[in-house]
Amino acid sequence: MASGGTPGAVIELTGIILAAGLGTRLRPLTDQCPKCLLEVGGQSLLTRQLHQLSRAGITRAVVVTGYLAEQVEAALQAVPPPLSVRLMPNPEYARTGNCMSVLAARPAVETSGIVLCDGDLLLRGDALTRLATESASAALLLDTGTALGEEAMKATLDPKGNVRRLSKQLLPAECAGESIGLQKVSGPALPIFWATLDAMREAGDTQGYYEDAFQRMIQAGVTFRTVPIGHQEWTEIDDLADLEDARARFGD
């Protein structure tokens, strides 16, 4: 796997997009449409993410489906993406957290590294490329300029600037920023990630976030670096207000 490089270089990573969720906070728009197919600027969130992966030099992706999976498949058939895509279903998407959606993607990962992306994330600029070409085995995009709310996946850092703690429950005043839901796990860190997720499943801990696995890895000595991203370079779409804001900011 490349440990560095320039934008556009082929990187031996697999993109994983988590698109299984119900999107309940976006009803009624998601009553008949999965969240990842909602459009901003005439393109679905999924199409935008796949193009972002391709521009970063990534040639294969896995999309984890669940709710209205047949619509995701039909959309990809109607407009072929610019990279190889394999759909992997999470049949337990309605009963488990996104940690189990990551595990659902595992059989389709044929590389020694992944770029893991929440399906409701919208990006501009080169942040994904900077993450993919980061030399560290494990790294995540961190926005240090945003106001931290209760729902934010917050991070504290150690004196070297690596992630120490990662949780929504952390006090905002103690945190350095928000982990936006885009991260790379590669090389020696990837088998540890899979093993950690397996252990969570075997223990019945299937309701959590994949960041819970990251925290366990950090406590076991795995280093997670941070790659900065500016607040204007991204947004996530959780509810109708977020969607309206995203269309105003990213609709060009």
**pLDDT score of 10:** 40
Torsion angle defined by CA atoms of residues 37, 244, 241 and 156, in that order, rounded to the nearest 10 degrees: 80
- Cis before residue 34, ω within 30 degrees of 0? no
Tell me how crowded residue 105 is: count the other CB atoms within 10 A of its CB: 23
In a domain, 156, yes or no: yes
Q: Which residues contact 19 (CB under 8 A, 6 or more apart)?
A: 34, 35, 36, 46, 63, 64, 65, 66, 72, 119
**pLDDT score of 151:** 86
Q: Predicted confidence band at 234 (pLDDT cuts at 50, 70, 90)?
A: very high
The mean predicted confidence, pLDDT, of the chain is 92
pLDDT above 50 for 6: no
The tens digit of pLDDT for each residue in 167-179 reads 999 999 999 999 9
In a domain, 4, yes or no: no
The answer to whether 114 and 158 are in contact (CB under 8 A) is: no
Provide the residue range defining the domain that includes 142: 11-250
**pLDDT score of 3:** 34
Model-level pTM? Answer: 0.91
pLDDT above 70 for 2: no
Phi, psi at residue 131, to the nearest 5°? Answer: -70, -45
pLDDT above 80 for 1: no
**Alpha-carbon distance 93 to 12, whole Å?**
28
User: Rounded to an integer, what is the distance from CA 244 to the centroid of its chain?
Assistant: 21
In a domain, 175, yes or no: yes
**CATH number of domain containing 218:** 3.90.550.10
In a domain, 5, yes or no: no
Closest CA to 190 of 16, 49, 61: 16
In a domain, 152, yes or no: yes
**pLDDT score of 111:** 86
**Alpha-carbon distance 185 to 119, whole Å?**
17
> Tell me, what amino acid is at 212?
D
Classify the phi-psi angles of 83: left when phi > 0, otherwise alpha if psi is within -120 to 50, otherwise beta: beta
Q: Predicted confidence band at 12 (pLDDT cuts at 50, 70, 90)?
A: confident
For helices 189-202 and 98-105, give the axis angle rounded to 10 degrees.
120
In a domain, 3, yes or no: no
Q: How many CA atoms within 13 Å lie on the side-chain side of 40?
A: 28
For 95-122, what is the mean pLDDT? Answer: 94
In a domain, 1, yes or no: no
For 195-200, what is the mean pLDDT? Answer: 97
Structural domains counted in the chain: 1
pLDDT above 90 for 109: yes
pLDDT above 90 for 108: yes
